Amino acid sequence: MFNKILVLSPHTDDGEIGCGGSISRFIEEGKEVYYVAFSTARTSVGDGFPNDILEIEVKKATKVLGIPDNHLIIKDFDVRHFPSSRQEILEELILLKNKLNPDLIFVPSPHDIHQDHQVIANEGLRAFKKQTILGYEEPWNNIVFETKNFIKLEERHVKNKVDALRCYQSQFKRPYLDESFIWSLAITRGTQLEGGYAEAFEVLRWVL
Ligand SMILES: [Zn+2]
């Protein structure tokens, strides 16, 4: 149904966490997937890592998922300060829309409480007016999340997502990168469909 997919990831790793299994499935199905990271958080990298570590890690992680190098786009907005760059981000999104013409867009949930995630969700909805838009979940940022759309996954897609997230060595202390969390969420969403694995999404706009 959808052939050209654009994943909008405020920071590196959000896109893989929110829809890494679906990316893996789409690539397997021969669909074109583009991934945009809006910040590599140069100013908040942990001790002992070079400040471009997240750029290196997102390149590895998206490669593991099968996204071609030339489908990875990295921007350098200031982490935690996206609200002050809102218009600039909207203009970037409109350029991307005109250049890529995708038919399915993934953004963070509009209920996500992180200020940078909110900007990407809101400006994504503003920029892509004719496209289907799904909001992905990051439960530690979601007080409410409406599981109205599901993408079913096979075990290999979840494994591929876990392998991609392993590339983020600099972020390993984050509990949401724990392998058992990734598996348990995929099982939880699969259980809502009476078994198997899935990722759940909010429906921001649905165009058929
Ligand atoms: Zn983020």
Residue 84 CA to ligand 1 centre (angstroms): 16
The Å distance, Cα 11 to ligand 1 centre, comes to 4
How close are the terminal C-alpha atoms of the chain, in Å? 8
Identify the pLDDT of residue 152: 98
Whole-model pTM?
A: 0.96
Q: What is the pLDDT of residues 4-62, one digit of tens each?
A: 999 999 999 999 999 999 999 999 999 999 999 999 988 777 778 888 999 999 999 99
pLDDT at 86: 98
In the predicted model, is pLDDT for residue 131 greater than 90? Answer: yes
Average pLDDT score over the chain: 95
Q: Tell me: pLDDT of 115 over 90.
A: yes
Burial class from Cβ neighbours inside 10 Å (0-12, 13-18, 19+) for residue 9 reads buried
> Span 74-86, mean pLDDT?
96
Strands in 25-179 per DSSP E? 32-39, 72-74, 104-108, 132-136, 149-153
Asked if 102 and 60 touch (Cβ cutoff 8 Å), the reply is no
